Amino acid sequence: MRELKGDWRDLFNGFMVALDLRKCFLALLGIFVSICACGGLTIILGNSVDAKTVEPPKDLVLHHWWNTQKVAWDVIYNGKYVDEPVAVSSAPAGAMMAPKSAPVTVVPVLPKRQPTGAAIRVGYTVAFALLFLTIWSYFGGAIARIAAYEIAKDGERIETRKALQFAKRKFWSFFWAPLICVIGFFFFAICNYAGGLVGSVLDFAKIGSPLVALLLPLALLSGFIMTLICVGTVTGLPLFAPAVAAEGTDSFDAVSRGFSYVYSRPWHYIWYQMVSSAYGYVCIGFVILFAITMCHLGIEAGAQGFELSGVWKPGAFHKVANESWALILSKDHQACDLYSWDPLQVLKSPHPYGRLQHLANSIVGVNYEGGGVAEGKDTFASFLITFWLAITLGLALGYVVSFFISQQTMIYYIL
């Protein structure tokens, strides 16, 4: 890591700070546990509410899992579909009976939905939030500690074991920091609610409305505090974990530091986040494409040797590898004009995920006909290739989390 200068230029150290196999592996573990626990909870609950609508994906393509999550959330919060959507033809407006030549308007009739119980919605929301917070309070805390130590000690690295011990010791500080903000927000909201409720009860004596109006300044003051908490939490949340990791402090002090830095130097903070985001797009895209190219070249060279450059068993190993790639990369982005690299098209529709998938398909050249785990004697080989591809590309995906946490830690030190 280069020598720090104490300003926004230090953010360009983020590429190497985040490019740490330990951080990427911890991030991969966090992502895996999150998918199993939080994603599994969502899909299982959504499937139990509406089995026809929510079906688990049969591959490892990221956006397939994400789309299934969104469908499950829609079912959990809005209810299951009780019938199929239909289309009804209608005559043009203002006509008792449309002539045969008149165009027929097709009006879609949305299917009816059976609302999910409030207990299920509230219980799921609380369980999901606590699970997610628990997972990343540990793994995210360890990553933040490694980054904080490396930045503070000018490149000196802490042992992974010590970082995990720190995350375990300070777990409740990481865990409670965002919850303190939520509790504070709802405290003032409930105070206002209780005041309105008291006014409603006293309104039978015709003093409720005047009393509420008289105490309105208190409600406005409460609203002011709620707004401060809301804005401070949304903007300062990324600094809570770095504060605990760097200072070894408690939850209240972490929240205080996060709010203080955001409100005392807002324009610096916004500028740092903008630079970090723009730089992050480049770094993350490079790492992911590098990992895909590395895997493809390694497999291609091995396949050529296995097949004696096409002399013996031509295409045998290529077919096994292709079926593994088909489980990971996306057919939806293989041939799509939306992801052309025309400068105007890039500015109009950035779509970084889609463009990465499109480039990955161009590099690997996947044939999606009959994609899946190979059958017969090649089943085990296909499984192993898929496993190693998932681990390797998962580490590249973990770099996304590592970069985010490392950059937020760097921003904390700069502020």
pLDDT at 98: 45
Q: What is the DSSP letter of 13?
A: G
- With CA atoms as reference, report the closest residue to 155 among 22, 13, 45, 276: 13
Average confidence (pLDDT) per 10 residues, the chain, 415 residues:
74 89 94 93 89 83 86 87 56 45 50 80 93 95 93 86 93 94 93 84 75 83 93 92 91 92 91 93 92 90 78 75 82 70 70 79 77 64 87 93 94 89
pLDDT at 310: 66
Q: What is the DSSP letter of 117?
A: P
Q: Residue ranges of the domains in the chain?
A: 279-414
Tokens of 353: 């995920």
Angle at 179 between CA 173 and CA 183, to 5 degrees: 130
- What is the Cα–Cα distance from 252 to 179, expressed in whole angstroms? 10
Q: Which residues pair with 106 in a beta bridge?
A: 89
Of how many residues is the chain composed?
415
Tokens of 69: 């999550």
Helices (H), 208-265: 208-214, 216-247, 251-264
- Count helices and strands (H / E) in the chain: 15, 4
Residues with Cβ within 8 Å of 343's Cβ and at least 6 positions away in sequence, in order, are none
Q: Which conformational region is residue 376 in: left (phi greater than 0), alpha (psi within -120 to 50 degrees), or beta?
A: left
DSSP, collapsed to helix, strand or coil, labels residue 87 as strand
pLDDT at 404: 95
- With CA atoms as reference, report the closest residue to 34 among 410, 360, 357, 400: 400
- What is the Cα–Cα distance from 274 to 138, expressed in whole angstroms? 27
Are β-strands 86-90 and 105-109 bridged in parallel, bridged antiparallel, or unpaired?
Answer: antiparallel
- What is the Cα–Cα distance from 51 to 335, expressed in whole angstroms? 32
In order, the DSSP letters of 31-82 are HHHHIIIIIHHHHHHHHHH-TTT----SS--HHHHHHHHHHHHHHHHH-EE-
